[in-house]
Chain A
Amino acid sequence: MFRNYFKTAWRNIIKNKTYSFINILGLATGMAVAMIVALWIYDEVSANKNFKNYDTIYRLMMNQTFDGVRGSQQALPYPIGEELKNKFPDFKAVAMCDWGQNRSLIYGEKKISKFGHFISEDAVSMFSLNIIDGSKNPLHDPYSIVLTKETANILFGNENPIDKTVKLDNQTDLKVTAVVDKEPKNSSLSFDYLIPFQLQESIYPWIKQHHKTNWGNNSWQTFVQLYPDANPASVKTKISNVVISHLTDENILKHIKPELFIHPMSKWRLHSDFENGKNVGGFIKYVRMFGILGFIVLLIACINFMNLSTARSEKRAKEVGIRKAVGSGRRQLINQFLNESLLMASFAFLLALGMVALALPYFNKLTDKEMSLQVSNPIFWLIMILFTFVTGLLAGSYPAFYLSSFNPVRILKGNLNAGKKSSLPRKILVVIQFACSVILMIGTLIVYQQIQYGKNRPIGYNNKGLITVNWSDDIAKHFEALRQELLSSGAAISLCQSNSSPTEIDSNNDGWEWKGSQPVEKAVLFSTITTTYDYTKTLGIKMLAGRDFSRDFADSNSVILNESAVKRMGLQHPVGEVLKWRDRPMTIIGVIPDIQIESPYRSISPLTIIFDKYWVNNLDIRLNPVMSASKSLALMKPIFDKYNPAYPFEYHFADEEYAKKFNYEELVGNLAAIIAVLAIFISCLGLFGLASFTAEQRVKEIGVRKVLGASVFNLWRLLSKDFLILVLLSCAIAIPVGWYCMNEWLKNYDDKYRTNINVEVFVAVTLVAIVITLLTISFQAIKVAMSNPVKSLRAE
């Protein structure tokens, strides 16, 4: 029986090559989209599962209230690690960690800059690092370093790295104690090297001096591992007051109220948003959204399949009639047609697999991932077979029930009712299909509009031709000489040091007092930038009032504010006013406009620029505008090699870094665009197929009309009209739905910084849908309209 089904199915596929091709291609495209989306979702939800202690690792976090807003932060005070470890038996392991940094590693002649962390020794077992070679507790000795295999290979080549000495930042000798596997790209702890947390105290004396027992400065992150039987809720209760119990400041006790809690590893990636101290989801909403979109595209492809299959029903009807007459029951016919769609789905699956394999490298680049088809994993194949099976059933169910329901008497008499009623379900399917495509188009356009909105927002400084170089001890030592040489070389026209790059704010501080401020306002957070000279000149900021820090003045107790800070403090004539920062008097010497350093979709936070020679992480350089960037950089390289010999000459362009702020939106936009284009493509395939069958069905009518004098244009209009009505109906359904969805999406953004949904979008989408429809069906319509009527009439 099965063989007979298979034979009929196979011969049907071969006999109707165009139809089969369109059908399989459509289904394959849908399946490929669903597969890629599924891979992407899998990559997202499986993040961090590489860590064996996934279920017991938590991040320590802290809620604090500033200016009435309860915020949740990962940054914690330095002594917290020791405190938790010594006083709370609930923790199996506690690991303090810095935020990670690129540092120079030197071995012999090899000099590389790699990313890594200061981290406590507990981290090795907590994150179950896979030690390929070396000690089991490799971060115990303060002067040790753990390298990933990749980093070790670059530094040591074929030599055995264990016990060799690596120079960190041209300054500290560290012994390689272990080589470990690199963690996958989707993990929350990724690094090229790890160095002991306590090493910081030796390298940076100020840490020992100012932070060892300082509970008021939050600059480190903390990971903890609970015992498997520990109750996270009771642990949270126990530790919530650890920080506040060490503090005495009235303001903190009364208003800021720091409270610790733990955030499980399973939520780090997709549930990382907090509001009023509560976890409110995060990227998971996009994972869900794309899951739904992937399913919709697959559904569109299945609808296509149903449409084309039932459109061909008249051709298959005779077979159904005969089979029924010779004894087939309805169940057997249903089985037969399901078998047929399963066969088609299998072909489509193979094609889809090929498409995914080809598209995956590009998709990985687009989404910055390392996804792969797990071809060696039997579970992957099991899922794929199941997926193909379900798709085949989904796509084949309606045709199977429809075709098998035919009345054999009427079929064999040759008068199958192909009236208006029988094409109604097909029309509904086309409308659903097109409505989905149009909604996707609307979504894509609005996401891109939002991106454009952010990009068009003025930033208040010039980020073109501005580069940033990581600060180092060597640069600090030779700063003046380096500055002079860079300027005299003609490569740069200005440069300045700062604690954060021109596209980030890395620090904020409370404790400010101003004329008329309330004691509670000491808990207002102001962003902090530290610099010395030439900051505004280098970034291209125009002062609104007053002046920049200057070598002609003693500026060590001066401060510059942005407009928002002036507004927050309510100062009428800010320049010359004296503020207090943690009881230190500071004089306002200038005001700058609100410059856009952080998210282009948020309001600009009040900013204080402080003169500080030692708090520095970056060197910002304004390139000479009359010289090409490549020439400037070539001139700069030998100068940096001379004064900063431990580091390869590495730099970031501020405009490129700024563009990365749109990565998130661009990812969403690009994914939506790809899905929309493919959905439209599939819908068009369906439309094309449907148009050709309609044309075939009406061939006699067209023949008669032609004989009676209809022109090609008349016939084209006749054939196009029906489809056009369907597509317009789809738009009418899709527009309100699309409007609603995108309005909800835009609510993620502050209402001052989001684009409006314009009527133009809907008009454009409708026009595009009409044009695509006409292009798709005109080919068929014109072909039929131009055919010789004698032929079609004789065929009866």
Chain B
Amino acid sequence: MIKISELEKIYRTEEVETVALNKLSFEVKEGEFVAVMGPSGCGKSTLLNILGMLDDPDAGSFLFNGIEVAHFNERKRADLRKHNIGFVFQSFNLIDELTVFENVELPLIYTGVKAADRKKRVEAVLDKVQIMHRRNHYPQQLSGGQQQRVAVARAVVNNPKLILADEPTGNLDSSNGNEVMQMLTDLNEQGTTIIMVTHSEHDSRYSHRIIRMLDGQTVTENILV
């Protein structure tokens, strides 16, 4: 599904040049659950942003389902993203002015799903993450675990082929964290590819494979299954 080779990303400011990704190459197959680990600043998040098409690489190749997307413009990337990729963030990133229902509905609006259809699908997914009773609440009225469940619901409502999770349990206590990890595992079992950045060895054990990074390069790959 994903094949990156010789991927490079360099951040420049007036004084400093930081190499975030240094000729990084790996492959992720459809249906895999991959964890990316490594110390702060090793380039994990940069990688995730490029994989999520929020950012573009400076050099190298990025094949998504066999299509080269490394040099797509913003519009093409947005288009590919909204149909194929769901995001889960450490800090949930729900829109404060929208209710639970409306937050989850958002991706469907952008892909042009009709209102009646949207309602059905949002309710189904809210049911699945067991937050249906909170559908008309605003994010501030929910606990962290509940917010992250909403975020997961939003990530999957469009049936994306790929979910990118950036430390999804980082702001949660362990029981809420386990719940979220269980949800991701369930999604993976239903066929969704998942790439997750994490600091937590515990969480990484939910995955099939761990890619360890240091200074923008992979150092080891452990296959867990």
Q: Which residues of A contact B (CB under 8 A)?
A: 1, 4, 7-8, 11-12, 15, 318-319, 321-332, 407-409, 412-414
CA distance A329 to B81 in the complex (A): 10
Contact B110 A328 (CB under 8 A): yes
Closest 8 CB pairs of A and B: A327-B82, A327-B110, A11-B97, A329-B78, A326-B107, A409-B49, A322-B93, A325-B87
Question: 19 A-B residue contacts at CB 8 Å?
Answer: A4-B102, A4-B105, A4-B106, A8-B97, A12-B97, A319-B96, A321-B93, A322-B93, A322-B94, A324-B54, A325-B93, A326-B106, A326-B154, A327-B83, A329-B79, A330-B75, A331-B75, A407-B55, A413-B45
Return chain B residues, CB-CB under 8 Å to A329.
74-75, 78-79, 110
Q: Which A residue sits closest to B97, measured CB to CB?
A: A11
Whether A319 contacts B54 by the Cβ 8 Å rule is no
Which single residue of chain B is at the shortest CB-CB distance from A15?
B97
A321 CA to B49 CA, complexed, in Å: 12
Q: Which of A4, A8, A330, A413 contacts B74 (CB 8 A)?
A: A330
* Residue B52 at the chain A interface, CB threshold 8 Å: yes
Q: Say if the beta carbon of B131 comes within 8 Å of chain A.
A: no
B96 — which chain A residues lie within 8 A by C-beta? 319
A-side contacts of B78, CB under 8 Å: 324, 327-330
CA gap between A327 and B106 in the complex, in Å: 9
Q: How far is the CB of A18 from chain B (nearest CB, A)?
A: 17
Q: Tell me, in angstroms, the Cα distance from A12 to B97 when the chains sit together.
A: 7
The distance from the CB of B54 to the nearest CB of chain A, in whole angstroms, is 5
- Kindly list chain B residues whose C-beta atoms are within 8 Å of the C-beta of A413: 45
Closest chain B CB from A795 CB (angstroms): 15
Chain A's closest residue to B78 (CB) is A329
Chain B 78-96 against A: per-residue CB contact (8 Å), 1 yes, 0 no? 1101110001010101111
Give chain A nearest CB distance to B103 CB in angstroms: 9
CB-CB contacts of B95-115 with A at 8 A, as 1s and 0s? 111100010011101110000
Shortest Cβ distance from residue B79 to the other chain A in the assembled complex, whole angstroms: 7
Query: Given the interface contacts A323-B95, A326-B87, A329-B75, does A7 sit within 8 Å of B102 by beta carbon?
Result: yes
Q: How far is the CA of A15 from the CA of B45 in the complex (A)?
A: 33
Q: How far is the CA of A1 from the CA of B102 in the complex (A)?
A: 11
- Which residues of chain A are within 8 angstroms of B87 by Cβ–Cβ distance? 325-326
Residues in B whose Cβ lies below 8 Å from that of A409: 49, 54-55
A407 contact set on B, CB distance < 8 A: 55
With both beta carbons as reference points, the residue of chain A lying nearest to B99 in the complex is identified as: A7
B15-66 interface with A by 8 A CB criterion = 45, 49, 52, 54-55
A541 to B152, CA, bound (A): 96
How distant is the Cα of A324 from the Cα of B109 in the complex, in angstroms? 13
Residues of chain B with a CB closer than 8 A to A412's CB = 54, 89, 91, 93
B93-A332 in contact (CB<8A): no
Q: For the complex, give the distance between the alpha carbons of A413 and B20 in Å.
A: 15
Contacts A1-B109, A327-B110 supplied; 12 other A-B pairs, CB < 8 Å = A7-B97, A8-B98, A319-B97, A322-B106, A323-B95, A325-B81, A326-B82, A326-B110, A327-B83, A328-B78, A409-B54, A412-B89
Q: How far is the CA of A412 from the CA of B102 in the complex (A)?
A: 20
CA distance A7 to B83 in the complex (A): 24
Q: Please give the number of chain B residues whose Cβ is less than 8 angstroms from any Cβ of chain A in the complex.
A: 30
In the complex, what residue of chain A is closest to B80 when comparing beta carbons? Answer: A327
Quote the shortest CB–CB distance from A36 to chain B (angstroms): 35
* Bound Cα distance from A7 to B111, whole angstroms: 19
Q: A11 — which chain B residues lie within 8 A by C-beta?
A: 97-98
Is there contact, CB below 8 Å, between B52 and A325? Answer: yes
Known: A408-B54, A409-B55. A327 touches B107 (CB 8 A): yes
Docked complex Cα distance between A413 and B41 (Å): 13
A409–B52 Cα gap in the complex (Å)?
10
List, in ascending order, chain B residues with CB within 8 A of A414's CB. Answer: 91
| Assembly CA distance A8 to B74 (angstroms) | 24
Q: How far is the CA of A550 from the CA of B144 in the complex (A)?
A: 106
Q: In the assembly, what is the distance between CA of A350 and CA of B57, in Å? A: 49
Q: Which residues of the other chain, B, contact A408 by a CB distance below 8 angstroms?
A: 54
Complex CA gap A654/B107 in Å reads: 78
Also in contact, A327 and B95, with CB within 8 A (given A1-B109, A4-B102): no
* Nearest chain A CB to B98 CB, angstrom units: 7
Q: How far is the CA of A321 from the CA of B81 in the complex (A)?
A: 14
Given contacts A322-B93, A325-B52, contact A7 B82 (CB under 8 A): no
Which residues of chain B are within 8 angstroms of A325 by Cβ–Cβ distance?
52, 54, 81, 87, 89, 93
Residues of chain B lying within 8 A (CB to CB) of residue A330: 74-75, 78
A322 — which chain B residues lie within 8 A by C-beta?
A: 93-95, 106
Which B residues lie within 8 Å of A321 (CB)? 93
Contacts of A332 in B (CB 8 A): 110
Residues of chain A lying within 8 A (CB to CB) of residue B54: 324-325, 408-409, 412
- Inter-chain CA distance A413–B107, complex, in Å, is 21
Chain B proximity of A330: nearest CB distance (Å): 6
CA distance A332 to B110 in the complex (A): 8
Q: Which residue of A lies closest to B155 (CB)?
A: A326
Least distance between B93 CB and chain A CB atoms (Å): 5
Residues in A whose Cβ lies below 8 Å from that of B105? 4
Q: Once the chains are docked, how many angstroms separate the CA of A407 from the CA of B54?
A: 8
Q: A7–B89 Cα gap in the complex (Å)?
A: 24
A328 CA / B105 CA spacing, docked (Å): 13
B81 proximity list for chain A (CB < 8 A): 325, 327
- When C-beta atoms are compared, the residue in chain B nearest to A1 turns out to be B109
Q: How far is the CA of A513 from the CA of B2 in the complex (A)?
A: 109
Provide the bound-state CA to CA distance between A327 and B89, in Å: 15
Q: How distant is A515 from chain B, measured CB to nearest CB, in Å?
A: 89
Residues of chain A with a CB closer than 8 A to B89's CB? 325, 412
Q: Could you tell me the distance in whole angstroms from the C-beta of A604 to the nearest C-beta in chain B?
A: 71
Q: Considering the complex, give the chain A residue whose CB is closest to the CB of B77.
A: A329
Quote the shortest CB–CB distance from B84 to chain A (angstroms): 10
A331 to B96, CA, bound (A): 22
B89 CB to nearest chain A CB (Å):
6
Q: How far is the CA of A408 from the CA of B74 in the complex (A)?
A: 11
When C-beta atoms are compared, the residue in chain B nearest to A322 turns out to be B93
Q: List A contacts of B79 (CB < 8 A).
A: 329
B11 to chain A, nearest CB (A): 11
CA of A4 to CA of B154, assembled, Å: 16
Residues of A close to B83: CB separation below 8 A: 327
Known: A327-B82, A408-B54, A409-B49. A4 touches B109 (CB 8 A): yes
Give Cα distance in the complex from A324 to B45, angstroms.
17
Instruction: Write out the residue numbers on chain B whose beta carbons fall within 8 Å of the beta carbon of A331.
Output: 75
What CA separation (Å) do A412 and B55 show in the bound complex? Answer: 12
> Who on chain A is nearest to B111 by CB?
A327
What's the nearest-Cβ distance from chain A to residue B102, in Å? Answer: 7
List residues of chain A with CB within 8 A of the CB of B107.
326-327
Q: How far is the CA of A144 from the CA of B52 in the complex (A)?
A: 91
CB distance from B70 to the nearest CB of A (A): 16
